[in-house]
Structures are given as structure tokens and as C-alpha cells.
Amino acid sequence: AAMKKYDFNVQVKNVSRLCHSKPIVMVNGMFPGPTVFVREGDQLLVKVSNFAQYNISIHWHGLKQFRNGWSDGPAYITQCPIQTGQSYTYNITVMGQRGTLWWHAHISWLRATVYGTIVIMPKEGTPYPFPQPYQETNIILGEWWNQDVETMINQANQLGQAPQLSDAHTINGKPGPLFPCSEKYTFAMEVESSKTYLLRIINAAIDDDLFFAIAGHNMTVVEIDAVYTKPFTTEAILIAPGQTTNVLVKADQPPSRYFMATRPFMDAPVPVDNKTATAILQYKSIPNTVLPSLPLLPAPNDTKFFFNYNSKLKSLNTPQFPAKVPLKVDRHLFYTIGLGINPCPTCQNGTKIEASLNNITFVMPKVGLLQAHYFNIPGIFTTDFPDQPQAPFNYTGAPLTTNLATTSGTRLSKLAFNSTVELVLQDTNLISVESHPFHLHGFNFFVVGTGIGNFDPKNDPAKYNLVDPPERNTVGVPTGGWTAIRFRADNPGVWFMHCHLEVHTMWGLKMAFVVENGKTAEESVLPPPQDLPLC
């Protein structure tokens, strides 16, 4: 194992896209930001220095940080923000993971432009459990707004409604030639005939589940969220914000130029966003004048694809990479996901949209929750988050007009060290059904079941996959349906859980778990680092 050091200088620089130029926050002058390369077992030190006029914090999405929430990154959850002129060193030991993850800003909407890839190579001398690729490429899917993102959010908060859609989707920060002024902002990947490539695909979009496909070429999915899967071949993948997917692609088509393309999956009754970002897969020595063809992408509302594709995702589950699914559950949790309307005297219409879990809208604290927990600071949070909704209702019945209001608070749920937890996330029809990609910090979990409609506690558990369910850190809860996950609470600390659609997080679709210390020092939260930012 080695020590890998990175310097991340956060600064504001001008960037041009779609015939507009605007200042954006970025790392080391790069958009997307630098790729972090580590090997399983390495110690990773990233010194983040803030030269921008914005508070910042960086989250290492999916990197397990055993006992060490201090380096997890969500602002006001595990740390106070790194203020202008300050720096903070994230100190991460990479354990038991290999594959693709990513890092992003975790404060306000700064992750719109502050993000990059994390590549975790297997230990020296350990091959991939699939054919060795000739080359590897990162594909980060994102979004671009012509307007300043911060201004846009402030406006949305004023109006009490959703901010406007992005102006483009992007592949490695580039929209591709179907957008204005974007010829030169097109990502291209050169391939040689008959060679196999590994694509590390990340959805860094702010508010969109995305389809991704390559014209003429199949993809073989081999890993999701830095966990190996049973390989399967598909024409398109579906990837929710926060998720990563590694695929093998063989350059086995007539040498030419082919579009890679990405477009949102949206099956909820919301304005459909069908902007298509493209990049180019270019066979060696084919001239740029050859016009590429577009791949067929599933229709924006192809819910069938959602279920069909997700059902193919299975843990590799070999002796070397076993799926350690908790078979016995110590704690059953059932959370409803709702979008509701609350009074807002200062908003334009007197009301504003708020989001909730079990009808509780999470209120961000003014100090880091992990500090409050570690130092026993009273009055910052309570640990009375309910395990079940207060009053059960027909969650996915006809559009609900009652039960829209939420209560608010910084309410956490306390989990005993090493206990096993089952959490059923149930979408509801409060205002409207919508798909929600849920991300749990601090843990991977197993997705043991999913379905349409209301979760049936009598019959649905019998259909769970407890053998080789996909293991991940972010899962899509289907529109008007439910998803059941299981995990072992073996990582003491305070861990955030939220919808990875930034607009929903902003509206309060979030909460946190406090995992208690175990009996020994080795099972307890580490002491905070000296340079931990203060509020």
C-alpha cells in the first residue's frame, strides 16, 4: 500500500459552453476536475485549499470511511465548510473496494461544476475478474446551465418552486455537436478495431436519471458503485445521479465514427427533458468528416426498461467477492418519500414545495452533526426520527390532497453498532410520484427488493433476492413504487442519507443516521483531525 497525495485548489474561472461564458467554481482549473487514482489499500490524502468566494466541502461519494466520518465531506453533517482562504486535508484509507467512484462538492449546488472521477485499482498483481481491457476511459455525465447556478437556486427558493432545467447535458463536461457552439466542445474517444475498452461511467448530473448508449455497440456491465457484478450485455444502461457503472465495449463494428449519447429517463408527470448530449467513439484513422450515427435510446418514460435493467444487476458473489447480505434483520425501517406544500409567508405564492421522509422535512444544522455527536453538544439534533410513518395511508393512491404538510426538524435515527438494518423506501403520491435516487453515506447496502405500488410487508419480503442482490451506495426508488435495502451498521459515526436529485435534497429530502460506537476503541469514531474546519 502506498500514500497518494493530491492538492485540490478550489478556484473560480471562466468557462464557455453553448455560446455563453461564465465564471464557475472548479478544482485546479479543470472542468470536470482531476481524476484521483488509488489502489485498494492505499492511504489517500487530498489537501483542499479554498481560493473561491464560496464555502466548500468535498464528498468522496461511495468511499467507505471506516470510523472516519471526518473525511466524508457533507457540509454541516460531518464537517463545517472550508471557508475562503482555508484548507483541509481529507485523509482516507481505501479498504475493501475497487472500481469507479467519484468526488463532488457537497454544499449548496456547487457540485454542478465541482466533480471528478475516483479510480480504485485492485491490489497490485490482482487482475479484474473479467477480460483485461486494452484501455480505460472515464465518462462523466453532467449538466450545464447558462445561468449562474447559485442565482438560479435563490430565485427558485423565492418563488417556492423548482429551479429551471439545465441548458445542456454533458459528457466529460462537453455537450457535443447537437448543441449550439459545441462542435469544439465534443468529447471523442479513439479506438482500434477488435480491441476491448473499459468505460467508467458516472452520473454527476444534478437532477436527472440518464440513459447512455453507443451507436452500433453493445456494452457489458461488469461493475456498479465499485462492486463487481455478474456480467451482462445490454444496448443501453440506466444510471441515476450518484451511481457509477463500468462497462466493457469491444470495437467490433465496421471502422467509422459512432455517437455515444445520453438523455434523461423521466417517467413522472413533470416537464420532459429530452436534451441529448453526445460524444464520439472514433475508430483509428477514420477522418473527422465522416458523419456519426446516433444510438437508439429508450423512450424518456420507459419504466419497463427501469425494472428490466435493474433486475439484471446482480453481485458477482464468488468466494473471492462474496455478497454478505444480512439474512437476519435487527431493525426494520419504513420511510415514505413525499413532496408536499407548506406555507411560506415570504414566498411569491405564499406556499413553497418541501420534501420529506415520513412527513419530516430535514433542517440543516448550523454546526456539523458529527462534531455535535462526538463532543456531546446538546440542542443540535434529536434522535427521534420515526421508524415508520406516523399514520399509514394509501401511499400511491389517487393524487393525494391531504397529508401534504410536513413537520420539520433535525431529527436523526440511532442505530446500534453492528446491527443489521432493513430500510424500505416508499415513494408516495404527495403532489406527484417521481423516481428518487437515494444515497447512503458511510455504507454500501444490498438492494434486496423493489416493486410498483405500495410495499406489502406480508408478501413482498418472500420475493427478496438474498443471494446475489446488487450492492451499491445509491439506488433508484421507482416512480410510485418501493425499494428495500439491507446493510450492517458497522461504521460508527453520523451518516447522511438523501435523494441525489439536488432539487429534492434542497427541499428537505434527507436525514441522517447516528451509528453508535461499539464496545472497543477499534469500534469507535476516530478523534477529529487538527485541521477540521470550524463553523
- 400: nearest Cα among 338, 479, 455: 338
468: which DSSP letter? S
Range 413-432, binding ligand C2O (CB under 6 A): none
- Measured from the CB atom, the residue of 88 and 395 that comes closer to ligand C2O is 88
**Quick check: 439 binds ligand C2O (CB under 6 A)?**
yes
Q: Pick the binder of ligand C2O from 17, 64, 98, 106 (CB under 6 A).
A: 106
**Quick check: 496 binds ligand C2O (CB under 6 A)?**
yes
Q: Pick the binder of ligand C2O from 64, 250, 441, 472 (CB under 6 A).
A: 441
- Measured from the CB atom, the residue of 78 and 172 that comes closer to ligand C2O is 78
Q: Pick the binder of ligand C2O from 69, 99, 133, 242 (CB under 6 A).
A: 242
Q: Pick the binder of ligand C2O from 17, 39, 61, 257 (CB under 6 A).
A: 61
3-class SS at 150? helix
Q: How far is the CB of 500 from ligand C2O (least distance, A)?
A: 6
Q: What angle do CA 155, 159, 163 make, to 5 degrees?
A: 55
Q: Pick the binder of ligand C2O from 498, 507, 509, 533 (CB under 6 A).
A: 498
Q: How far apart are CA 208 and CA 467, in angstroms?
A: 31
- 128: nearest Cα among 116, 140, 136, 117: 136
Binding segment (CB under 6 A) for ligand C2O, from list 141-149, 276-284, 495-503, 522-530: 495-503
**Quick check: 59 binds ligand C2O (CB under 6 A)?**
yes
Q: How far apart are CA 63 and CA 303, in angstroms?
A: 30
- Measured from the CB atom, the residue of 64 and 106 that comes closer to ligand C2O is 106
- 65: nearest Cα among 440, 468, 507: 440
Question: Could you tell me where the beta strands, DSSP code E, fall in 115-266?
Answer: 115-121, 135-144, 168-171, 188-191, 196-203, 209-214, 219-224, 227-234, 236-239, 244-250, 257-265
Cell matching residue 430:
404527495
Q: Buried (b) or exposed (e) across 204-236, using 16+ Cβ within 10 A?
A: bbbbbbbbbbbbbbbbbbbbbbbbbbebeebeb
Site string for ligand C2O, 381-420 (x = CB under 6 A): ----------------------------------------
Q: Pick the binder of ligand C2O from 39, 104, 314, 436 (CB under 6 A).
A: 104
**Quick check: 98 binds ligand C2O (CB under 6 A)?**
no
- 268: nearest Cα among 209, 199, 181: 209
Binding segment (CB under 6 A) for ligand C2O, from list 161-169, 419-427, 476-484, 494-502: 494-502
Are 182 and 176 in contact by the 8 Å Cβ rule? The answer is yes
Q: How far is the CB of 498 from ligand C2O (least distance, A)?
A: 6
**Quick check: 326 binds ligand C2O (CB under 6 A)?**
no
- Measured from the CB atom, the residue of 140 and 249 that comes closer to ligand C2O is 140
Q: What is the largest CA-CA distance in the chain?
A: 67
Q: How far apart are CA 150 and CA 143, in angstroms?
A: 14
- Measured from the CB atom, the residue of 64 and 500 that comes closer to ligand C2O is 500
**Quick check: 74 binds ligand C2O (CB under 6 A)?**
yes
Q: How far is the CB of 197 from ligand C2O (least distance, A)?
A: 26
Q: How far is the CB of 362 from ligand C2O (least distance, A)?
A: 12
Question: Could you tell me where the beta strands, DSSP code E, fall in 235-268?
Answer: 236-239, 244-250, 257-265
Q: Which residues pair with 141 in a beta bridge?
A: 171, 203
412: which DSSP letter? E
**Quick check: 472 binds ligand C2O (CB under 6 A)?**
no
- Measured from the CB atom, the residue of 58 and 430 that comes closer to ligand C2O is 58
Q: How far is the CB of 206 from ligand C2O (least distance, A)?
A: 11
Q: How far apart are CA 515 and CA 218, in angstroms?
A: 42
- Measured from the CB atom, the residue of 282 and 435 that comes closer to ligand C2O is 435
Residue numbers at the binding site for ligand C2O (CB under 6 A)? 59, 61, 74, 104, 106, 242, 439, 441, 496, 498, 500
